[in-house]
Amino acid sequence: MRESAVKCWDSGLPLQPPPPPHRRPICHANPRLPTTSSSARPIVDMSYARHFLDFQGSSIPKSMQKLVVTQLSPNFREAVTLLRDCPVPLPGDGDLLVRNRFVGVNASDINYSAGRYSTSVKIPFDAGFEGIGEVVALGLTASAKFTIGQAVAYMTPGSFAEYTVVPAKIAMPVPSVKPEYLTLLISGTTAYISLKELGELSEGKKVLVTAAAGGTGQFAVQLAKKAKCHVIGTCSSAEKSGFLKSLGCDLPINYKTENVGAVLKREYPEGVDVVYESVGGEMFDLAVNALAIKGRLIIIGFISGYQNPTGLSPVKAGSLPGKLLKKSASVHGFFLNHYFSEYQKAMDHLLKMYESQKLVCEVDLGDSSPEGKFTGLESVFRAVDYMYMRKNTGKIVVELPHSVNSKL
């Protein structure tokens, strides 16, 4: 057989040995062609399979870089290793191979690297939750809904890589590869679903958003304003206060220069109706104290504690039951994974809002960071540090460079 007959067309990928039953290759053996023995590799008929692989002029390399958790730790730099010579994975029958162009950085990336989401997690495992890029290869079943070169966004573990295999059933077609679409996958849907399901927003209600200029806070502010609420937002700089005002925030509070508790007590003596809380620790205590009668506090995170060994910041939990009872108030936890039945509807709604210019999706690519823009997987480490220094405005996104011979 000629050398080219055992290569996936223009891909640079050698024919793979037979995979386990759950992972079928994209190069399918033609059952009409015989093999010389039961142990011989099947002859591959590529006549019908070309479009399941890469497009002309942009070959898939044999190896790639990716970030892998090699030690469980909330210190991202200690926990994660950049591997530079990993084989590019092949998609199964119902999968897509996505070349990542942008990947999202989340506060919970260090919870993941610390193994806090599963007691049975075993190292090594791939890092990163979300990405956006182009389909460069796909399985036969996946080709019913997707095509080579199509822009897709996804939320699945293993996004901190140059290429990621994504099940077609969870991939979301997007109009183009723009980082703004990436902001909606976790940050936007968290704000939308939590406020819709737990916030009971209505006109005139007073809503406090902590870390309001961050990746998810920006959406909570805008969605509360769309519901005709009065919105207060905490942030850490004058620049972020200006950004919040541009979103329609009624009262930004810079906690670096203002006493948040005193401002809330002075401006809202009757309390606030809803709190969208992601900071934890002292800010959580302030938020509880600021609740109005029948107020609702939604916990979507507690970033101030994630770098601690326990993952928590101390709160005044002993007095919490009495405070809630006194006000008939409530505290609700929200974890996105428990609301996947609402996820697609939320994404569709947010995409329509963005496309109709009714939603700002602020992206922070690190241009103002000391070492400049977040480019390449090695800059994910800087991006995580940047987030925990509370420097970002909007969603932190890392751009992954692509080959100059790409036609996309």
**Quick one: average pLDDT of 362-390?**
97
pLDDT in tens, 122-145: 999 999 999 999 999 999 999 999
Contact 41, 156 (CB under 8 A): no
| Residues whose CB falls within 8 Å of the CB of residue 9, separated by 6 or more in sequence, listed in order | 46, 49, 50, 53, 54
Q: Lowest mean pLDDT of 33-37, 185-189, 260-264, 340-344, name the range.
A: 33-37
**Quick one: average pLDDT of 161-183?**
97
Residue 15 CB: number of other CB atoms within 10 A? 14
The set of long-range contacts for 340-345, using a CB threshold of 8 Å and a minimum separation of 24, is 342/193, 342/196, 342/197, 343/189, 343/193
- pLDDT of 403 reads 57
pLDDT class for 7, splitting at 50, 70, 90?
A: very low
Contact 221, 233 (CB under 8 A): yes
- pLDDT of 68 reads 98
**Quick one: average pLDDT of 397-401?**
96
Does residue 14 register a pLDDT over 70?
no
pLDDT class for 59, splitting at 50, 70, 90?
A: confident
Contact 398, 102 (CB under 8 A): yes
pLDDT class for 120, splitting at 50, 70, 90?
A: confident
Contact 322, 286 (CB under 8 A): no
In the predicted model, what is the mean pLDDT of the chain?
Answer: 88
Between 5 and 1, the more confident residue is: 1
- pLDDT of 146 reads 96
- pLDDT of 407 reads 42
- pLDDT of 118 reads 87
| Residues whose CB falls within 8 Å of the CB of residue 108, separated by 6 or more in sequence, listed in order | 129, 301, 306
**Quick one: average pLDDT of 374-399?**
98
Domains and CATH numbers, the chain: 62-177+362-399 (3.90.180.10), 184-338 (3.40.50.720)
Q: Is the pTM of this model over 0.75?
A: yes
Distance CA 212, CA 268 (A): 18
Distance CA 306, CA 108 (A): 8
In the chain, % of residues over pLDDT 90: 82
Longest C-alpha distance within the chain, in Å? 85
Does residue 39 register a pLDDT over 70?
no
Does residue 81 register a pLDDT over 80?
yes
Contact 9, 59 (CB under 8 A): no
